[in-house]
Amino acid sequence: EEEGAAEEKEEEVEDKSKILMKVALLMIGGTALVVFFSDPVTN
């Protein structure tokens, strides 16, 4: 029983890391878009 619980925890950690990666990519992508579109306007 203990081994099964440990495996479930590892899967949860993997899911959280995947979500964090998606959030980070979205933030980076959003920032890049803002910079890309604001540069021609300011210049």
Q: Please give the pLDDT value at position 22.
A: 97
What are the structural domain ranges in the chain? 1-43
pLDDT digits (tens, 9 = 90+) for 1-43: 567 666 777 788 889 999 999 999 999 999 999 998 887 766 5
Structure tokens belonging to residue 35:
């910079």
The span from the CA of 1 to the CA of 14, in Å, is 21
Amino acid in position 32: A
Q: Considering the entire predicted model, what is its pTM?
A: 0.56
Q: Please give the pLDDT value at position 17.
A: 94
The span from the CA of 12 to the CA of 18, in Å, is 10
The span from the CA of 7 to the CA of 10, in Å, is 5
Q: Please give the pLDDT value at position 43.
A: 57
